[in-house]
Structure 1
Amino acid sequence: MAFLRYLIALLAVGGMVVSGLALRVHLQDPNAAPPCAVTEKWDCGAVNHSRFAVFPAASFGEDPRHGKHIPVAVLGLGGYLLIAVLALTKLDFFAFEAAQIGLFFAGILSYLEAFVLEKWCIYCVWSQTIIAVITIVAAINYLVVRNRRKLIY
């Protein structure tokens, strides 16, 4: 369904914006107060400057902004872009699979925020919500398209 594909792409653009905001905080000087440091539990600066803000995770004592690490926000930007392209090119199954992979990684990051860092990033929570909604919409879209094809043949 065209409407659902466009909705997936629109949500993915929103995810790219949120990932861009998280990347901005990641690249910011750790000593500067990030715009999203709300409380002791909600501090995107602490999350985005942690060793888990890059892939692979930085070693203890290593500055995660330097070295051979890719910021997680960059991976988010790329993942959302891929989902949007797959949805708009009518590759419904692959858009759904990419969304599931994104949701899996968002779950890992949520676990790290909740139980390891014990701090939350508002941009990360927005991104986790967006990828969850994309996964649901992509699943519905894939099921509708698949069932429609079964009826035609």
Structure 2
Amino acid sequence: MGMRVLRLLIALLSLGGLVVSVLALRVHLQDPGAAPPCAVSEHWDCGAVNHSRFAVFPPRGFDEDLNSKGHLPVAVAGIAGYAAIVLLALFKMDFLAFEVSQIGFFLALILTFLEKYVLEKWCIYCVWSQCILAVLLGLSALNLWMGRRRTAREGLHLRAI
């Protein structure tokens, strides 16, 4: 698999993550009383997760209103991150694509921890996003490694001449 194919795969997977983040934002912006499209069981409830105090950054205080200002929805950060990875992959900025993937993965890991141990509820969009970011991190690391290996090989070739 060539680096061009890997970059294209990274960009396409990031577009998928972008769609997932837009769907999560849609649930976040819904009226909390409205039934979200993925309230499947007591443990799988996107509405509860996306309206929790952890669905925004910085997290809301316990006494803050749901509509309080000064908080960025986490889904908006996901949209920005996925869009950045798409652009970085397409413009062959492999190291930056790897770094943004790494940051996104670890932020999503923190949110996954909060879903599991604090909220005790899961959001299908968040789980999909975590999976996408795990694959993106692996692919971007592979892409970076292949690029550095290629550069080292070309350097050895030039020295031999």
Q: Is the structural similarity TM-score above 0.5?
A: yes
Which residue of structure 1 aligns with residue 94 of structure 2? Answer: 92
Question: Which runs of structure 2 are paired with 1:24-103 in the superposition (5 Å)?
Answer: 24-103=26-105
Contact in 2 for aligned 1:12/1:83 (Cα 8 Å): yes
Q: Could you tell me how far apart the structure 2 residues matched to 1:112 and 1:65 are?
A: 21
- Alpha-carbon shift at residue 63 of structure 1 (Å): 2.9
- Alpha-carbon shift at residue 94 of structure 1 (Å): 0.9
- Alpha-carbon shift at residue 147 of structure 1 (Å): 0.2
Q: Could you tell me how far apart the structure 1 residues matched to 2:8 and 2:81 are?
A: 16
Question: Which runs of structure 2 are paired with 1:87-126 in the superposition (5 Å)?
Answer: 87-126=89-128
- Alpha-carbon shift at residue 65 of structure 1 (Å): 3.8
Aligned with residue 133 of structure 1, among 132, 135, 144: 135
TM-score (norm 1): 0.98
Which residue of structure 2 aligns with residue 3 of structure 1? Answer: 5
- Alpha-carbon shift at residue 44 of structure 1 (Å): 0.4
SS of the aligned residue for 2:92 comes to: coil
Aligned with residue 20 of structure 2, among 15, 18, 21: 18
Q: Could you tell me how far apart the structure 2 residues matched to 1:9 and 1:126 are?
A: 16
- Alpha-carbon shift at residue 67 of structure 1 (Å): 1.0
Q: Could you tell me how far apart the structure 1 residues matched to 2:44 and 2:87 are?
A: 33
- Alpha-carbon shift at residue 37 of structure 1 (Å): 0.3
- Alpha-carbon shift at residue 89 of structure 1 (Å): 0.6
Contact in 2 for aligned 1:5/1:87 (Cα 8 Å): yes
- Which consecutive aligned stretches of 4+ in structure 1 deviate over 6 angstroms post-superposition? none
- Alpha-carbon shift at residue 64 of structure 1 (Å): 3.6
SS of the aligned residue for 1:147 comes to: helix
TM-score (norm 2): 0.93
Consecutive unaligned residues of structure 1, counting only runs of 5 or more, are none
Contact in 2 for aligned 1:54/1:64 (Cα 8 Å): no
Consecutive unaligned residues of structure 2, counting only runs of 5 or more, are 156-161
Contact in 2 for aligned 1:27/1:65 (Cα 8 Å): no
Which residue of structure 1 aligns with residue 159 of structure 2? Answer: none
Q: Could you tell me how far apart the structure 2 residues matched to 1:56 and 1:74 are?
A: 13
